[in-house]
Amino acid sequence: MKRYTFIKKRESIPITTPIRVLEPKAGGIKLEYEIYATDNIHIRIGNRDIYIPYWKYNSELLVFFKLIKEYWDNNLVQLSKTHWNKKDPIYTKLWVILQSRNGNFNCYEDVVDINKDYKSLRIRTLCTMLEHHQIIKHLEKGNSKFSVPYVQIIF
């Protein structure tokens, strides 16, 4: 059974209070993960699933981004009410995968200051599909390492 393994390399989190942004930095929560797919042997012992990797594919760096509401361009990409997140006054309820202008996903350094680097921001994938839900759950917690079943991440 193939699985994706995510290992956090870097993160940038804005400084906020419960209702206000003090320092936006990149304009949201920016997480860079090294992602690689593995073929695994699946063993079940009792109620526990154990995956033993026996083949590792080349890794890829992806940057996941959760934007602060005031920086979201609603004219470019209209957000539904569920993703606008009325409960949280600061963040949207949507993770996106960033891509640089030249098509590279290794673009962590391209977006450092939201006011200066906004033009280099390219949204490649909105993480809204059912396949993304397990990934989103780990991104919300900020886990440094996790694995999810093999699905196509980028649509």
Give the pLDDT confidence of 100-151 residue by residue, as tens digits.
877 888 888 888 887 777 666 677 778 887 778 889 999 999 999 998 888 7
- In this structure, of 2-16, 67-81, 95-109, 110-124, the range with the lowest mean pLDDT score is 110-124
CB 122 within 8 A of CB 154: no
- Spatial distance between the Cα atoms of 11 and 120, rounded to a whole number of angstroms: 18
Domain range for 9: 2-149
Q: Is position 154 within any domain?
A: no
CB 59 within 8 A of CB 26: no
For the residues 40-53, what does the mean pLDDT come to? 88
- Spatial distance between the Cα atoms of 99 and 113, rounded to a whole number of angstroms: 16
Instruction: Indicate the number of domains in the chain.
Output: 1
Q: Is position 134 within any domain?
A: yes
Q: Is position 39 within any domain?
A: yes
In degrees and rounded to multiples of 5, residue 120 shows phi and psi of -85, 0
